[in-house]
Amino acid sequence: MTLFLLLLPLLARAAASTELTFELPDNEKQCFYEELESGEQFHVDFQVIAGGNYDVDCVVSDPGDRVLYQERKKQYDSFSHTTSTKGVYRVCFSNEFSTFSHKTIYLDFRFGEERPLLPDMNRGTALTQMESACLSIHEILKVVVDSQTWYRLREAQDRIRAEDLNQRISYWSVGETIILFVVSIGQVLMLRSFFIDKKSSVATNT
């Protein structure tokens, strides 16, 4: 399975974050694995950005193969869970219901706790005005990053749809041109046949 557009984790966090976009062929299934500690929270966000009806099956299971999340033919969704046991957790995407169309899927997998932005944030005293301003800017930047990801996915989805529409219009234009030529040639041959029949009848009478 070919994976592409692998983005770097966010360096400002202790929590791990992986974003990737991958192709899922028709009649195939792709799984991703991550070993997590007990009591650790993780988040899964996914979206189908190209292919077919923009839908995919998704299943999240724990180390004991117990299903934590399962949805069929979803275009996008989010799932959060706090682990109860240590082990390898699995996120699987299935396109086995599709016979002809492959899908392009965006996946964002995050786990762990976010590291404090400031070294002394856990102290009992109140934050200074500078520290409060830093926290506010940090939260705004996180919103900006999420918005940029959303707009990037929408742009990719719209671009793929536009390219697909352009391809269909091109095929339709070529088909119309061929039909026009066939009809024109047919009309010319039909008119010629009328004159040939008329000449043949005149020659016979003479």
User: What's the total number of domains in the chain?
Assistant: 1
How do residues 41-52 score in pLDDT, each as one tens digit? 899 999 988 888
CB contact at 8 A, 55 and 42? no
Instruction: Tell me whether residue 121 is in a domain.
Output: no
Instruction: Tell me whether residue 200 is in a domain.
Output: no
CB contact at 8 A, 91 and 107? yes
CA distance 70 to 58: 6
Instruction: Tell me whether residue 8 is in a domain.
Output: yes
Please give the residue that has the higher pLDDT: either 146 or 200: 146
Count CA atoms within 13 Å of residue 39 on its CB side: 0
Quick one: pLDDT band at residue 61, thresholds 50, 70, 90? very high
Question: How far from 91 is each of 27, 78, 110, 167, 193, CA to CA, in Å?
Answer: 17, 12, 12, 34, 69
Cite the DSSP H helix spans in the chain. 129-205
Instruction: Tell me whether residue 181 is in a domain.
Output: no
How far apart, in Å, do the first and last CA atoms of the chain sit?
A: 80
Instruction: Tell me whether residue 164 is in a domain.
Output: no
The range of the structural domain enclosing residue 24 comes to: 3-116
Q: Which of 143, 144, 163, 145 lies closest to 155 in space, CA to CA?
A: 163
CB contact at 8 A, 86 and 37? yes
Instruction: Tell me whether residue 187 is in a domain.
Output: no
Single-letter amino acid, residue 106 = Y
Instruction: Tell me whether residue 180 is in a domain.
Output: no
CA distance 153 to 200: 70
Please give the residue that has the higher pLDDT: either 131 or 158: 158
CB contact at 8 A, 13 and 43? no
CB contact at 8 A, 48 and 55? yes
What's the pLDDT at 204? 60
CB contact at 8 A, 22 and 107? yes
CATH, residue 89: 2.60.120.380
- Asked if pLDDT for residue 14 goes beyond 50, the answer is no
Instruction: Tell me whether residue 133 is in a domain.
Output: no
How do residues 148-162 score in pLDDT, each as one tens digit? 877 777 787 788 778
